[in-house]
Amino acid sequence: VKYVFVTGGVVSGLGKGITAASLGRLLKMRGYKVTSQKFDPYINIDPGTMNPIQHGEVFVTDDGAETDLDLGHYERFIDESLNKNSNVTTGKVYWSILQKERHGDFGGHTVQVVPHITNEIKDRFYRNPDAKDTEVAIIEIGGTVGDIESQPFLEAIRQFQHEVGPKNCIMIHVTLIPYLKASGEIKTKPTQASVKNLQGMGIQPDILVCRSDLPLDQGIKDKIALFCNVPSRNVIQNLDVDVLYEVPLAMEKEHLADVVCECLDMECPPPAEHAWLE
Ligand code: ADP
């Protein structure tokens, strides 16, 4: 299995879930078997008890798990059935560690965030025994880089990439490129700061998906690439669309799947359902 982690920077609600779901669709169209997971830094065990007006829909999987709304995006975009392992929260991770602690499983050792919580997170990265033929797991980390509560997840993905190797595990960072109306400028600094933040945690993003109001010209893409240490081709623009189902099409035009396959050392044949893209 190859892994694609999706993180978000600058602000929340940028469309990490939609980006992850769109990528899944584009890889599936190339014949790859794809699955998705969402890791959420909040302490609720699952969103089942959370106010849907505040948090959005509770998406119920076939096996009855009450999960985050992003899993709904994944299923609708990718058309693969997900399950209770597809959504992991900080609450679930601690719940399981605390039960092991009470059971005496740690044999008198001090139980710590590193390594116990981070190991528990790593153990939960895609472990669906029913889908052994999965080729790519797309894993979204909820929240924004820089949040206190995301740190164990980011440390876990850093270690995970170190263990499985950079050709088997890549990082997509979704950021915001704001436009300042008064000065008429597109600003890359928040993105640079967010990438520095990630680098400070030992993570180098491979691909940047940039949400922006205005199209990014080559000059801006080159600038982002230079300062964030990625090839220009790996800077993908993600403009606002009217209908969410247009996002995969927009991502295809930006060659997201090609760049992902290149980073993962995988073939990237033209999409099988070509007509779908017209
Ligand atoms: P995150 O996972 O980063 O919190 P979501 O994927 O849930 O963000 O998206 C946040 C909101 O932004 C959703 O309501 C989604 O419909 C909207 N959205 C995401 N991408 C786009 C886009 N390219 N154009 C317009 N709306 C978008």
pLDDT, tens digit (0-9, with 9 covering 90-100), for 35-44: 889 999 999 9
Task: Considering only residues 226 and 13, tell me which one the structure prediction assigns the higher pLDDT.
Answer: 226
For ligand 1, whether the C-beta of 9 sits within 6 Å is no
Q: Between residues 16 and 57, which one has the greater pLDDT?
A: 16
Atom of ligand 1 nearest to the CA of 21: 6
Q: pLDDT value at position 54?
A: 84
Q: Is 85 in the pocket of ligand 1 (CB under 6 A)?
A: no
Residue 10, pLDDT score: 87
Enter the pTM of the model.
0.92
What mean pLDDT value characterizes the chain?
90
**Ligand 1 centroid vs 244 CA: distance in angstroms?**
8
pLDDT digits (tens, 9 = 90+) for 73-120: 888 888 778 777 888 999 999 999 999 999 999 999 999 999 999 999
Residue-level pLDDT at 261: 95
* Percent of the chain's residues with pLDDT above 90: 67
Strand-pairing partners, residue 39, are 88, 141
Question: Is the CB of residue 11 below 6 angstroms from any atom belonging to ligand 1?
Answer: no
Q: So what's the pLDDT on residue 274?
A: 57
pLDDT at 68: 83
Do the beta carbons of residue 203 and residue 195 sit within 8 Å? Answer: no
Tokens of 255: 């060659």
pLDDT digits (tens, 9 = 90+) for 180-232: 989 889 999 999 999 999 999 999 999 999 999 899 999 999 999 999 999 99
d(CA 62, CA 57): 16
> How remote is the CA of residue 209 from the centroid of ligand 1, in Å?
12
* pLDDT confidence band for 129 (50 / 70 / 90): low
